[in-house]
Structure formats: C-alpha cells, structure tokens
C-alpha cells in the first residue's frame, strides 16, 4: 500500500480534527443551541428597546441563558406565536380573536402576560404653536376632516399626518382608541394621505424636521426636543400631558398595557424569565426607559 507523504497526511489529520471539533461544538454548546437555555423573543417595536435592556441584564446574571430579541411589530410577534416559532411574543395590543382561533387550530394556546404600561404621546414640532387638543380633534385630524392647523388654533399651514404601519400594535391601538374613540361600531379610518412609517425613530425624525407634522409614539421614545400635546378626553375637560403619574391615575387619555404572550402557561426558563421581568429589579428598567411599571 502506497504511503501518504507526511505533509499531505498532516493536512488531512488537521482537517479531520477541525471537522470533529466543529461538529462537537455545534451539538453541545449550551449557550447557542440548547432549547433549555435559549429564549426566542419577537414582536412589538414599542417594546423592543425594553426587551433588549431586560435581556442584557438577565443574561449578565444568568450566563447559561441566551435570549434573542427582534422587533418587526406586534403582528409579526403574534404571527410567530401562532406558527409556534417563538417563545415570547411581544405585543403593544391585545391578541385578536381571529389570531387566537388560528393559534388554537395550530395547537397553540396563547396566554397573556402584562409586563408594563405605556402612554402614547401625540407629538408635534416645537415650532408649532398648538399645545392642546381634544381626542375628537385628533380623530378629526387623522381621519382627514381637518387639513389645516388653523382649524385647531394653529397657523395657516397644511397638516402632515404621520402614523406607524398597519402591522404595528401602536397603529391598531391608536386607530381603535383615538380615531374611533373606543367605539367598536365606528369604522373611521386614517386619511389616505397619512404617511405610514416603519419605526418610532422614523416618526421622531420626520416631526423634528417638519413643522407641519403630527405624529404619535410611545412615551419612552419621545426626545426632549419635541413637543408633546396635552390631551383632553372631551371638550371642556382637563388637558393632560403623558407621564408615569398621569397613566397611573388614569387622567391621561391614551394609555395601554404592554404584553408578552406564551404558548400555554410558561414553565422552566421561560417562567423564570417572566417572573424576573415582573420583579422590582426589572421594573426599575421600565421606568428608566420612560415606560410605566406594571401594576402588581
């Protein structure tokens, strides 16, 4: 039998060892592939920064756990839950009846967990003199009934409407709570010339650059250089700015719960993580990022 020359033999041996090491690591790494130590978390763009902060803190204290956090919107997270491809679905709105039915048809049982609260701030450029609006006025602006700032006490300028895209839970909540004023029978829609933007950052940027723009965003995303509108629930009512205090005392009109959904009651590391999220340690991060801690 012909001998393999030493250099080729050495190369062959190193390659074989490399392959064996690679295979061994891909099957045994507890941090990246073990299902008992990996949490897939996806959904709401409103929640994504909070979820990332939580994941970073938790992984620092639990190095055996790896948490993947991605956004894409509440609809994306809930769709992943329905399809059984995510452990935790973040949502800034409640799951819809039809989504629950679809999930159950796939053998998935959605369970809701309130993990924080949020105020949706209505924002304008600081050069806009309008400081106060009623819910009805905001509805009339976004439905297209009002088209000029002069109609709501501002200057003679066209109103530029900004909204999140339809896959966003914030978009759905704003449609149902503000445009439709909470009425299930109301079929009011956003004006067709409303500019739909894919992210909170996009709305912030456009309002900052455009003195005619009006937008809405989660309180935790609003920078100090933009103006938040004080809102009255009805004409003649008190005008209230969004804050942790006004959400908790229920005087601010546009406030909501934020959710994580699981498939069935959580167990194992999913339960441990959710229990930690509701702990005082994790809820401090909620307030630091401008959200409202969950009421226990």
Residue 26 counted as domain residue: no
Same domain, 178 and 189: yes
251 shares its domain with 125: yes
**219 domain-assigned:** yes
pTM listed for this prediction: 0.80
Do residues 130 and 247 share a domain?
Answer: yes
Identify whether the C-beta of residue 92 lies closer than 8 Å to the C-beta of residue 46: yes
> 125 with 240, same domain?
yes
User: What is the residue-level pLDDT of the chain in tens, covering all 296 positions?
Assistant: 444 444 433 333 333 333 333 333 333 333 444 445 899 999 999 999 999 999 999 999 999 999 999 999 999 999 999 999 999 999 999 999 999 999 999 999 999 999 999 999 999 999 999 999 999 999 999 999 999 999 999 999 999 999 999 989 999 999 999 999 999 999 999 999 999 999 889 999 999 999 999 999 999 899 999 999 999 999 999 999 999 999 999 999 999 999 999 999 999 999 999 999 999 999 999 999 999 999 76
Give the CATH number of the domain where residue 142 resides. Answer: 3.40.190.10
Are residue 246 and residue 159 in the same domain, yes or no? yes
Q: Determine, yes or no, domain membership for 190.
A: yes
**Does residue 134 sit in the same domain as residue 208?**
yes
Question: Do 97 and 157 share a structural domain?
Answer: no
One domain, residues 89 and 125: no
Neighbours of 193 (CB within 10 A): 10
Q: Are residues 164 and 145 in the same domain?
A: yes
Domain that holds residue 170: 119-255
User: Which of 132, 135, 127, 138 minimizes the C-alpha distance to 161?
Assistant: 138
In this prediction, residue 295 carries a pLDDT of: 75
Supply the pLDDT for residue 5: 46
Q: Is residue 105 part of a domain?
A: yes
Whether residue 12 lies inside any domain: the answer is no
Q: How many domains does the chain have?
A: 2
- Whether 191 is in a domain gets the answer yes
Which residues touch 220 (CB under 8 Å, ≥6 apart)? 46, 49, 50, 118, 289, 290, 291
Tokens of 199: 């992210």
Beta pairing, strands 213-218 & 132-134: unpaired
Residues 197 and 229 in one domain: yes
Same domain? For 251 and 214 the reply is: yes
Same domain membership, residue 271 and residue 221: no
């Amino acid at each position: 039998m012909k001998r393999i020359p030493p250099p080729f033999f050495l190369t062959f041996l190193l390659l074989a060892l490399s392959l064996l090491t690679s295979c061994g690591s891909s099957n045994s790494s507890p941090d990246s592939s073990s299902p008992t130590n990996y949490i897939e978390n996806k959904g709401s763009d409103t929640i994504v920064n909070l979820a990332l902060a939580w994941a970073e803190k938790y992984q620092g204290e639990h190095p055996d756990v790896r948490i993947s956090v991605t956004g894409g919107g509440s609809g994306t997270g809930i769709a992943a839950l329905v399809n059984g491809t995510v452990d935790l679905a973040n949502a800034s709105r409640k799951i819809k009846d039809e989504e629950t039915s679809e999930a159950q048809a796939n053998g998935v049982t959605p369970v809701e967990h309130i993990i924080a609260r949020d105020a949706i701030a209505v924002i304008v450029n600081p050069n806009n003199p309008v400081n106060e609006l009623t819910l009805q006025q905001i509805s009339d602006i976004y439905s297209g009934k009002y088209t000029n700032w002069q109609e709501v006490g501002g200057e003679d300028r066209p109103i530029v409407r900004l909204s999140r895209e339809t896959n966003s839970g914030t978009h759905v909540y704003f449609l149902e709570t503000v445009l439709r004023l909470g009425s299930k029978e109301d079929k009011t829609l956003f004006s067709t010339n409303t500019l739909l933007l894919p992210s909170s950052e996009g709305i912030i940027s456009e309002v900052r650059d455009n003195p005619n723009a009006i937008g809405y965003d989660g309180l935790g995303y609003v920078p100090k250089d933009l103006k938040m509108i004080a809102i009255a629930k009805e004409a003649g009512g008190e005008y209230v700015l969004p804050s942790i205090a006004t959400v908790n005392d229920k005087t601010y009109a546009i406030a909501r719960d934020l959710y994580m959904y699981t498939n069935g009651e959580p167990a194992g590391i999913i339960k441990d993580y959710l229990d930690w999220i509701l702990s005082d340690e994790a809820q401090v991060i909620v307030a630091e990022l401008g959200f409202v801690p969950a009421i226990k």
